[in-house]
């Protein structure tokens, strides 16, 4: 579904992501793990059009989307939930969700799918997004991303800034999406959490893929255990 080959990207002509290749097949949940500063955010932003790609190619459903603008990638069926969330702070929950369906009017059916996943959003539908807690904003960001019925959901650290209980809840919601058949690519530092959800994973360090394998393989890998699972 998504094939990324030898992608490089960075800031002001200095690349921090160096020739990364990743693929995601339909129905899969794929994790990108790696410590802070590894290049996960830079990589996902380049894939989704938020940063220019300096080399390599991104193919989605057989066609190149490497040089498309953010909104074109979004309309192609990829929903990206960035770490910064980028909600509309002065709009209500309902209005934020409505824009997720742009350029169409929001469908009641899809809105109730989101409210089933995040009942909290239904309670808060008239509240301004900017006045909600971090956990609620994260729910709204995911909910808004789902309103367009995307075929691929890409998330950058959905647990950033969340207390452990809320982080676990966020992954329960993603697990629910997964059972509905959603294809998901997620970058995460909370390695145990993400490996409990993912089918496969990649380990990124200093802008390159160091290791890849099934979630089970990564969980058992001595390097991963030492570096990310806190096991001696």
Partner 1 sequence: MTAAILDGIVLGLQFGILGVGLTIMYGLGGVLNLAYGSMAVVAAVVVSFSMRSGLPAGLAVLLGILTAAGIGLALNLTILKPVYRRQGEARVLLSLILTIGVAFIIDGFLVWRFPIEVLSLSIGGNPVLILGVPMRTGSLLASAITLLTGGALIFFFRATVTGRAVRSVIQDEVGAQLCGVNPATTRTLIFTLSGALVGLVVVMQSMTSPVPISAGFEITILALIVTVVGGLGSIRGAMLAGLILGVVHAMSSFYIGSYITTIILLAAAAFTILLRPSGLFGKHA
Ligand X SMILES: Nc1ncnc2c1ncn2[C@@H]1O[C@H](COP(=O)(O)OP(=O)(O)O)[C@@H](O)[C@H]1O
Which one of 25, 63, 75, 226 is in contact with partner 1 (CB under 8 A)? 75
Interface pick for partner 1 out of 33, 117, 142, 145 (rule CB under 8 A): 145
Residues comprising the chain, all counted: 232
Alpha-carbon distances of 5 from 24, 59, 64, 96, 209, rounded to whole Å: 12, 8, 11, 34, 12
Cross-strand partners of 188: 33
**b/e for 61-76, b at 16 or more Cβ within 10 A?**
eeeebbebeeeebbee
Give me the sign of the Cα torsion angle 212, 214, 220, 224: positive
Residues 25, 26, 37, 69: which binds ligand X (CB under 6 A)? 37
- Residue 16 binds to ligand X (criterion: CB under 6 A): yes
Contact between 201 and ligand X (CB under 6 A)?
Answer: no
Rounded to the nearest whole angstrom, what is the least distance from the CB of residue 125 to Mg ion in the complex?
A: 30
* Residues 190, 18: Cα–Cα separation, whole Å: 23
48 vs 191, which CB is nearer to partner 1? 48
Per CB under 8 A, does 102 bind partner 1?
Answer: yes
How does DSSP classify residue 190?
-
Q: Is 40 in the site for ligand X (CB under 6 A)?
A: yes
Contacted entry of partner 1, Mg ion, ligand X, none for residue 79, CB cut-off 5 to 8 Å set by kind: partner 1
Binding of ligand X by 36 (CB under 6 A): yes
Alpha carbon distance 172, 177 (integer Å): 9
| Near ligand X by CB under 6 A: residue from 2, 34, 167, 194 | 34
Q: Which 8-state DSSP code applies to residue 53?
A: E
Pair 21, 4: CB distance under 8 Å: yes
Is position 60 an interface residue for partner 1 (rule: CB under 8 A)?
A: no
Residue 135 interacts with ligand X (CB under 6 A)? no
Which of 35, 52, 13 has its CA nearest to residue 43? 52
Q: Which stretch binds partner 1 (CB under 8 A): 13-21, 79-87, 173-181, 212-220?
A: 79-87
Nearer to partner 1, 19 or 98 (CB): 98
Tokens representing 18 are: 């160096």
Binding site for ligand X (CB under 6 A): 11, 16, 34, 36-42
Binding site for partner 1 (CB under 8 A): 48-50, 69-71, 74-75, 79-80, 82, 84-91, 95, 98-100, 102-105, 144-145, 148
């Amino acid at each position: 579904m998504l094939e990324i080959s030898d992608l490089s990207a960075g800031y002001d002509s200095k690349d921090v992501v160096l020739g990364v290749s990743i693929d995601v097949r339909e129905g899969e949940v794929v994790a990108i793990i790696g410590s802070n500063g590894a290049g996960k955010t830079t990589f996902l932003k380049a894939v989704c059009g938020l940063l220019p790609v300096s080399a390599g190619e991104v193919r989605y459903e057989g066609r190149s989307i490497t040089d498309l603008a953010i909104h074109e990638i979004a309309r192609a069926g990829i929903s990206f939930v960035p770490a910064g969330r980028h909600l509309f702070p002065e709009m209500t929950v309902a209005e934020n969700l409505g824009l997720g369906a742009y350029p169409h009017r929001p469908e009641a059916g899809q809105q109730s799918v989101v409210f089933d996943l995040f009942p909290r959003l239904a309670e808060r539908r008239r509240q301004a997004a900017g006045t909600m807690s971090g956990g609620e904003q994260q729910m709204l960001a995911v909910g808004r991303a789902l309103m367009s019925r995307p075929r691929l959901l890409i998330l950058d650290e959905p647990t950033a800034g969340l207390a452990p209980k809320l982080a676990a809840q966020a992954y329960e919601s993603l697990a629910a999406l997964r059972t509905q058949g959603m294809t998901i690519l997620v970058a995460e530092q909370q390695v145990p959490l993400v490996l409990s959800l993912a089918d496969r994973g990649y380990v990124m360090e200093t802008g390159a893929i160091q290791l890849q394998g099934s979630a089970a393989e990564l969980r058992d890998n001595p390097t991963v255990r030492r570096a990310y699972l806190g096991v001696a």
